[in-house]
Amino acid sequence: MPGPLYIALIPLLPLITFAIISLVGNRYFPKFTGILGTTSLAISATISLFTAWQYFFVEGSVNGVYQQIISFKYTWLEFSPNVSIDMGALLDPISVMMIVVVTFVSLMVHIYSLGYMKGEERFSTYYAFLSLFTFSMLGLVLSSNIFQIYIFWELVGVSSYLLIGFYFDKPSAVAASKKAFIVTRFADLGFLVGILLLAFHAETLDFQTLIQRLSTPGDYLNGIISASFLGVSALTWGLVLVFIGGAGKSAMFPLHVWLPDAMEGPTPVSALIHAATMVVAGVFLVARLFPIFAMSCPVALDIVACVGVFSSLFAAIIACTQTDIKRVLAYSTMSQIGYMMFALGVSEYGENGLGYMASMFHLFTHAMFKALLFLGAGAVIHYVHSNEMKDMGGLRKFMPITHITFLIACLAIAGIPPFAGFFSKEEILTAAFHSNKLIFGLAVTTAAITAFYMFRLYFSIFWKSEHHPHHGDDHHGEGPKTMLIPLLVLGLLSIVAGFAPFHHLVTSDGHPLHTEFHLLFAAGPVLLAIIAIIVAMVMYKKESALPGKISEGLKSIYQAAYRKFYIDEIYLFVTKGIIFNLIGRPSAWIDRNIVDGFMNMMATVTENFSDTIKPIQSGKLQLYAVWFFAGLMGMVLLFIYLWA
Amino acid sequence: MIGLSHMLIISTALFFIGVYGFLTRRNMITMLMAVELILNSVNINFIAFNKYLYPGKLEGVFFTVFIITIAAAEAAVAIAIIINLYRHYKSIDSEDADTMKF
Provide the shortest C-alpha distance from residue A631 to chain B (in Å): 14
Which residue of chain A is at minimal alpha-carbon distance from B25?
A622
pLDDT attached to residue B87: 92
- Measured in angstroms, the CA of A634 and the nearest CA of chain B are apart by 15
Q: Which secondary structure element, helix H or strand E, spans residue A179, and what is its range?
A: helix A171-202
Residue A38 CA, chain-centre distance (Å), reads 23
Q: Which of A622, A632, A636 to mutate to test the interface with B (most CBs of B within 10 A)?
A: A622
Query: How far is residue A565's CA from residue A460's CA, in Å, rounded to a whole number?
Result: 24
Contacts of A465-469 with C-beta under 8 Å, sequence gap 24+, read A465/A393, A465/A394, A465/A543, A466/A393, A466/A394, A467/A394, A468/A393, A468/A394, A468/A395, A468/A398, A469/A384, A469/A391
Residues of B in contact with A629 (CB under 8 A): 19, 23
Alpha carbon A528 to chain centroid, angstroms: 30
CATH class, range B4-99: mainly alpha
Task: Find how far residue B56's CA is from the centre of its chain.
Answer: 28
Q: Kindly report the backbone phi and psi dihedral angles of residue A633, in degrees, each rounded to the nearest multiple of 5, phi listed first.
A: -60, -45
Q: Which amino acid is it at A457?
A: L
- Where do the structural domains in chain B lie, given as residue ranges? 4-99
What are the residues facing A70 on neighbouring strands? A2, A90
Q: Does A614 touch chain B (CB under 8 A)?
A: yes
- Which uninterrupted H or E stretch holds A79? strand A69-80
Q: What pLDDT is stored for residue A469 in this prediction?
A: 54
Residue B17 has pLDDT above 90, yes or no: yes
Q: Do A625 and B22 touch (CB under 8 A)?
A: yes
Strand-strand pairing, A228-229 and A83-91: unpaired
- What is chain B's Cα-based Rg? 17
**CA nearest neighbour of A35 among A89, A111, A128, A90:** A111
| Contact residues on chain A for B19, CB-CB shorter than 8 A | 629
Backbone angles phi, psi at A121, to 5 degrees: -65, -40
The rounded average pLDDT for each run of 10 residues, N- to C-terminus, in chain A (644 residues) is: 74 90 84 87 90 81 78 82 83 87 90 85 87 91 89 90 88 88 89 88 84 82 76 84 89 85 86 85 89 84 88 87 86 89 84 83 89 88 79 78 86 84 85 84 88 86 66 60 85 83 77 74 82 82 74 75 77 82 88 91 94 84 89 92 81
The pLDDT, as a whole number, for residue A1 is: 44
Contacts of B26 in chain A (CB under 8 A): 622
End-to-end CA, chain A? 89
Question: Between chains, do B94 and A621 touch, taking CB under 8 Å as contact?
Answer: yes
Q: Cβ(B57)–Cβ(B70) under 8 Å?
A: no
For residue A78, the surrounding DSSP H or E stretch is strand A69-80
Q: How far apart are CA A319 and CA A325, in angstroms?
A: 9
What is the nearest CA distance from B37 to chain A, expressed in angstroms? Answer: 16
**Closest CA of chain A from B100, distance in Å:** 5
Residue A182 burial (CB count, 10 A): 13
SS3 state of residue A512: coil
Over chain B, what is the mean pLDDT? Answer: 90
Distances (CA, A) of A35 to A49, A313, A483: 21, 41, 14
Q: What residue type is A303 in one-letter code?
A: I
- What long-range pairs does B21-25 form, CB within 8 A, spacing at least 24? B22/A622, B22/A625, B23/A622, B23/A625, B23/A626, B23/A629, B24/A622
Residue count (chain B): 102
Q: Residue B19: closest CA among chain A residues belongs to which residue? A: A629
Looking at the complex, report in whole angstroms how far the Cα of residue B85 sits from the nearest Cα belonging to chain A: 13
Using beta carbons and an 8 Å cutoff, which residues of B are at the interface with A?
Answer: 19, 22-24, 26, 31, 94-95, 97-102
For position A272, what pLDDT does the model report? 87
Q: What is the DSSP string of chain B?
A: ---HHHHHHHHHHHHHHHHHHHHH--BHHHHHHHHHHHHHHHHHHHHHHHHHH-TT--HHHHHHHHHHHHHHHHHHHHHHHHHHHHHHHS--BTTT---S--
* Candidate from B22, B95, B102 with C-beta closest to A620: B95
Contacts of B95 in chain A (CB under 8 A): 620
Considering only the beta carbons, identify the residue of B22, B24, B98 that sits closest to A620: B98
CB A165 within 8 A of CB A258: no
Residues 6+ apart with CB under 8 A from A387: A263, A324, A325, A326, A327, A381
Residues 6+ apart with CB under 8 A from B76: none
pLDDT value, residue B64: 93
Position A201: which residue type? Answer: H
Under an 8 A CB cutoff, do B98 and A615 touch?
no
pLDDT tens, position by position, B26-54: 899 999 999 999 999 999 999 999 989 98
Task: Name beta bridge partners: A85.
Answer: A77
